[in-house]
Amino acid sequence: MPTIARSNYQAPFLFRNGHMQTIVPHWLRRFDDGFYQRERIDTPDNDFLDLDWSKIGSDRIAILSHGLEGDSHRPYILGMARTLRQHGWDALAWNFRGCSGEINRQLRSYHNGSIEDLDCVVRHVRNTGSYRTIALIGFSLGGGLTLMYLGKNGHALDPGIRKAVVFSVPCDLRAGAMELAKCRNILYMKQFLSSLHGKIRAKMALMPSAINDDDYHRIRNFRDFDDRYTAPLHGFRDAEDYWQQCSSNQYIHHIRVPTLIVNALDDPFLADRCYPVNEAANSDHVFLEMPRSGGHVGFVQFRKDKRYWSEVRAMEFLDRE
């Protein structure tokens, strides 16, 4: 589909900066999560996934996939789940392995290509027999995972999945990793590596002979981390092999359901190659929207109903016939 030429998103005054859009919502946005109902399901490899349901009795549901080191209680997930409720949709926010507050059982964790876990969630939803319509919504890593899932399944995709919306997606993992390794993004990188270190240490406590954090301080960027942990733990040769196999841009041309990709042009996490302009232009099903502002999973908007633009935009796309 042609790239959406003009986005209607207008950043508020003082939020026309990608770093402000990225940082401020994380600290200032708060929601009551009392509408969640937690369920734990088993995976085929004897691990588990924790799911948080938002149910209003609808026959339509959106499955929400969070970003790197996120979880189902991040403001962008809660804000989307709340908006879906208000529009007559059920929602299911699933936590990647190790992201729900309890470390997972297996040595493996999650990564940009963990589509078997998303498939496990989709199958679980379908097996309830409650839903005629399923939508997928993903953010950052969860957005890339969603695109890869849609593309790799292609014509074999579950027919109940009708649409998808993804935000702030590093469609080219190598380019995104190189962008975050730049000096201007050092604070983000340090935060990610610190959070990931916590996961490594927790896993060490469960299986000390299988994994260690010796000289972890020498890890400076995602290449270092993915070479040491992500690649060997998940069957990839090295970071380059992992990035090549799990970059979502190569799967876009196989997507067969209406899909909206929204990547802000001032996203500090995204390099030029993370904007799949050519891939979207050559697809019959994928729309690419690139607002001038929005940061990384930001899209701040001050409305009486407290919705952000990303939530309004997602509902516009999902509810359109």
**How open is the CA angle 108-51-232, to the nearest 5 degrees?**
10
Could you tell me if residue 146 is inside a domain? yes
Q: Is residue 9 part of a domain?
A: no
Q: Can you tell me the distance from the alpha carbon of 204 to that of 200, in angstroms, rounded to the nearest whole number? A: 6
Residues with active-site annotation: 140, 267, 296
Task: Check pLDDT > 80 for residue 2.
Answer: no
Q: How many domains does the chain have?
A: 1
The parent domain of residue 279 ranges over: 18-175+249-319
Distance of CA 128 to the CA centre of its chain: 24
Local structure of residue 293 (DSSP, 8 states): -
Average of per-residue pLDDT values in the chain: 96
Q: What pLDDT digit, counting tens, does each position of 129-177 carry?
A: 999 999 999 999 999 999 999 999 999 999 999 999 999 999 999 999 9
Residue 48 pairs in a beta bridge with: 42
Q: What pLDDT is stored for residue 6 in this prediction?
A: 87
Q: Is residue 235 part of a domain?
A: no
Domain for residue 180, yes or no?
no
What is the per-residue pLDDT for 247? 98
pLDDT, residue 67, reads 98
Residue 293 in domain: yes
Position 4 in a domain: no
CATH at 279 = 3.40.50.1820
Q: pLDDT tens digit string along 178-221?
A: 999 999 999 999 999 999 999 999 999 999 999 999 999 999 99
Residue 253: inside a domain, yes or no?
A: yes
User: Could you give phi then psi for residue 165, rounded to 5 degrees?
Assistant: -135, 130
Going through 75-158 in order, the beta strands assigned E by DSSP cover 90-94, 133-139
Pairing of strands 60-65, 161-167: unpaired
Of 19, 268, 36, which is closest to residue 140 (Cα–Cα)?
Answer: 268
| pTM recorded for the entire structure | 0.97
